[in-house]
Structure 1
Amino acid sequence: MSYKVKFQQVTKKYKMYNKQIEKVKDLFWNRGKGEYHYALNNISFTVDKGEIVGVIGLNGSGKSTLSNLIAGVTMPNEGTVDIKGSASLIAIGAGLNNKLTGLENIELKGLMMGLTKKQIQEITPKVIEFADIGKFINQPVKTYSSGMKSRLGFAISVNIDPDILVIDEALSVGDQTFTNKCLEKMNEFKENGKTIFFISHSLSQVKSFCTKALWIHYGHVKEYGDINEVADQYGQFLKEYNKMSKEEREQFREKQLNELSHGLLNNGTSVSKDTGEHSKEESAEPLSLSRSKRIGNKQKSSSRKKSFTKKVLLPAAAVILLGSAGYAVYAAQSASHLTKQTESKKQSSASSTAQKKQQAEKAVINTKTAFVREEPDLESSQKAVLSFGEIYKVLEEKKDPAEDIKWVKLNAEQGKEGWVSSALLTPYTEQQSTLTNKNIDSLNSLVRSKYNISISKLLSPLSETQKNLMENQALPLTNQYESNDGTLLNYGSVQYVALNNMITEVSLRNVDEDTEDILSLLKKKPLFINDKEGLYFYQSKNYYIKVYTNVKTNKIKIISFVEREKAEGKQMK
């Protein structure tokens, strides 16, 4: 079945400002520095045609940001959002102009969705009938209640007949009669093979209507799969969460933010507290400074106040008065320069391993994610995303003197090729030092104590069929779902990955042990280390071993074993 929506390692962040003047300064000298709130962090999932996905999660987890990305209201900072077809967002007041009447908003939204005047005239009576707001259809939307706005927005969106419908809490404000009417229309869409995202805090509605559930937890995909399994897990979580006191909830949130820091963009800034979703604004409300910080800022700024007024505010006002056309050109140039500058910094600092002078036959990805480009140029389009520990053939190398970047052309199976910065690669040869079975067996006591399974039984399903694993695994299967990497089978904190019905990888998750203590058991140095991202890469005769750590706590998060024979035939995603 072909997919309709695909998210690949998507991150969305919003910059935090202490003062309004900082927003003005950012228009002209935005260098990407500052404090950011990460609404979504490195999320990936795929939704097939005809699926009804219930999006669940706590307030502030990123659900509305997700809906805005699907509908094209906002764009991601990192990763790709692939939407096949038209998408329409239904949220309270979304896409409605408060100064226009209901009738005028029908025409406006129709034009925005690409409808002709004739098509808008044809759907207008249907919209009016479905919305059922009477004479208010001729009144400005600013006079509407939240329920009336929801009615009008829903009526317009369903009659425009989009391929993908995104419903964000739009049914939470209407009466039961209108809710039932909406559910009937949504079932009609379902029968016609439409894809629907249903964002709601009502678990009963989600379970009764949806086929799958996507649990967003503090900007990450916690679970994605069968509606009953995921909804039941979320329901159990809510029971425990609701028992917590205010202080316990705050401690829990802080702990989750620290644990989920894996995969954040590295901007040299700290991640702000997740105080809520910033889905409807491009920036957060100003943060209050501590007293000492305010005093310090005041002392520093007083001597520069007059100079700043002359050098910044007056020129800024002059530039703004030049007109929107001139500003648009400037903004486009600034955005292009910023994108190039940010990515160049990332690529130049991602690896601490020096590249060999001669061209290697193979290279291994030494960072969490590496973008593959059509051409050896930062402005070239991205064609794929590669992950840490993947190994590819090297075809060619080129130097870009303008950007001081060395590019490497990689080749996977079926002739797929692309260019990656050499800073994101480490040369790889088969003759490099390997772990023995005895080295790997030294982890047995850890695996037995934390996961109730021996290291030999943990690794034995690799290269076997998915069916064989499910029939013979002693651990209980907690959940199973599809992802970009294949079928994920979770046995508590042990996760197996099946690709084409064959088990290719197994991961020990939530290890939470001191990095040095565990790695010292292996008694051999890794092939390479990425200190900044806390990544370690080993190999044995049969496996590639990837270790992910939390650089802040110096504790191991994940140890992953990949079957070498299957990994070497891996294709670019």
Structure 2
Amino acid sequence: MGAIDYPVFLEGPPCVVIDRVQMTYRVASSDDRATASRPGLKGALRRVLRKPNMVTVNALKEISLVVERGESVGIIGRNGSGKSTLMRLISGQEAPTHGAVYASSTPILLGVNAALQPDLSGDQNVVLGCLAMGMNMDQVNEQFDKIVELSGLDSAIYLPMKSYSSGMSSRLRFAIAAAVNPEILLVDEALNTGDAQFGSRSKARMNELRAQAGCVFIVSHSLDTIRDMCTRVIWLDKGDLIMDGPPIETTQAYQEFSVHLSKGNNMSARRIREEARSNLVATRILERASGRRTEGR
């Protein structure tokens, strides 16, 4: 596996620099081979009452990336591969166990669980969400019609958000987040709404953001969404960076990997994974950047 030596200064081109980042968690496990071997009620009672074993989970193994201005980066992988963990580290919601994340401005994380109020109407949530992102009321009024148009909600914007479908809620969250013109926008599974018109509008909006010297990160299980909206795709698997390349090439390799797994062809899937990882050109950060960062030990 080769490597690119990348000197990094945040006064220069990059939007986001991920420098030798790792993320581990200590979690409780009920697995106890000795106790599990004891059958019957007494064995079950011991498993309930005893202190749980604490195990280390490597959510993200060492990874270094540099994301330039104007890039739209797709993140793909199986459940539990580290996709959402990486997004939380970039957004600053969590600090990495090791390494550091540097960003040229504060990233805006848009996820399907973004905190809006279901009992309030859509228009009230627009105001609430925009104010929470630092806009004033004049800016909210200026952006309101654009937000409604992008969301495609029309008159439903005045209904309680709890009456929305998951797709309607996701569209509104995206429209609110995109209204603030963030330099770094993180989208976590919020575009899989099955709405072709919204897909076209959201793609156009993200192209505008990228044209304004920003960058976009997208996590999605929809490979069509990733191919349509991204200029670069990274494939994560069990915390490892497997591939970092063009959308068509990377999604095709991941799709072949997934098909073999679904058919039980584990050896073929492993071969595709190992071949992709062996061809990965790793990034090495030569100098630490100054500016905003989220750092571990």
Q: TM-score, normalised by structure 2?
A: 0.73
Contact kept in structure 1, 2:29 and 2:55, CA below 8 Å: no
List aligned pairs for 1:402-421, cutoff 5 A: none
Equivalent residue letter for 2:131: L
Residue 109 (str. 1) matches residue 129 (str. 2): yes
Of 91, 97, 101, the residue aligned with 1:81 is 101
Question: Counterpart in 1 of 2:59?
Answer: 39
1:5 Cα deviation after fit = 0.8
Question: Counterpart in 2 of 1:501?
Answer: none
Q: Could you tell me how far apart the structure 1 residues matched to 2:209 and 2:230 are? A: 12
Q: Could you tell me how far apart the structure 2 residues matched to 1:480 and 1:36 are? A: 27
Contact kept in structure 2, 1:229 and 1:479, CA below 8 Å: no
Question: Counterpart in 2 of 1:493?
Answer: none
List aligned pairs for 1:317-332, cutoff 5 A: none
Residue 158 (str. 1) matches residue 169 (str. 2): no
1:479 Cα deviation after fit = 4.1
Residue 132 (str. 1) matches residue 163 (str. 2): no
Of 182, 195, 204, the residue aligned with 2:215 is 195
Question: Counterpart in 1 of 2:73?
Answer: 53
Of 265, 277, 284, the residue aligned with 1:484 is 284
Residue 3 (str. 1) matches residue 30 (str. 2): no
Question: Counterpart in 2 of 1:91?
Answer: 111
Unaligned runs of 5+ in 1: 20-32, 260-477, 486-570
Cα deviation 1:125-147 (Å, max 9, x = unaligned): 22122223244323332332100
Contact kept in structure 2, 1:57 and 1:217, CA below 8 Å: yes
Unaligned runs of 5+ in 2: 1-11, 31-52, 289-297
Q: Could you tell me how far apart the structure 2 residues matched to 1:68 and 1:176 are? A: 28
Contact kept in structure 1, 2:22 and 2:99, CA below 8 Å: yes
List aligned pairs for 1:260-409, cutoff 5 A: none
Percent sequence identity is 35
Question: Counterpart in 2 of 1:224?
Answer: 244
Contact kept in structure 1, 2:15 and 2:214, CA below 8 Å: no
Contact kept in structure 2, 1:93 and 1:146, CA below 8 Å: no
Equivalent residue letter for 2:264: M
Cα deviation 1:368-425 (Å, max 9, x = unaligned): xxxxxxxxxxxxxxxxxxxxxxxxxxxxxxxxxxxxxxxxxxxxxxxxxxxxxxxxxx
1:482 Cα deviation after fit = 5.8
CA distance 1:42–1:241, shift in 2 (3 Å): same
Q: Could you tell me how far apart the structure 2 residues matched to 1:14 and 1:99 are? A: 35
Q: Could you tell me how far apart the structure 1 residues matched to 2:176 and 2:233 are? A: 26
Q: Could you tell me how far apart the structure 2 residues matched to 1:18 and 1:204 are? A: 37
Equivalent residue letter for 2:79: N
Cα deviation 1:479-521 (Å, max 9, x = unaligned): 4646125xxxxxxxxxxxxxxxxxxxxxxxxxxxxxxxxxxxx
Equivalent residue letter for 2:169: K
Provide the alpha-carbon RMSD of the alignment: 2.9
Contact kept in structure 2, 1:90 and 1:150, CA below 8 Å: no
Equivalent residue letter for 2:231: T
* Partner SS, residue 42 of structure 1: strand
1:156 Cα deviation after fit = 0.5
Question: Counterpart in 2 of 1:276?
Answer: none
Q: Could you tell me how far apart the structure 2 residues matched to 1:146 and 1:208 are? A: 22
Q: TM-score, normalised by structure 1?
A: 0.40
Question: Counterpart in 2 of 1:243?
Answer: 263
Query: How many residues matched?
Result: 249
CA distance 1:112–1:59, shift in 2 (3 Å): same
CA distance 1:243–1:151, shift in 2 (3 Å): same
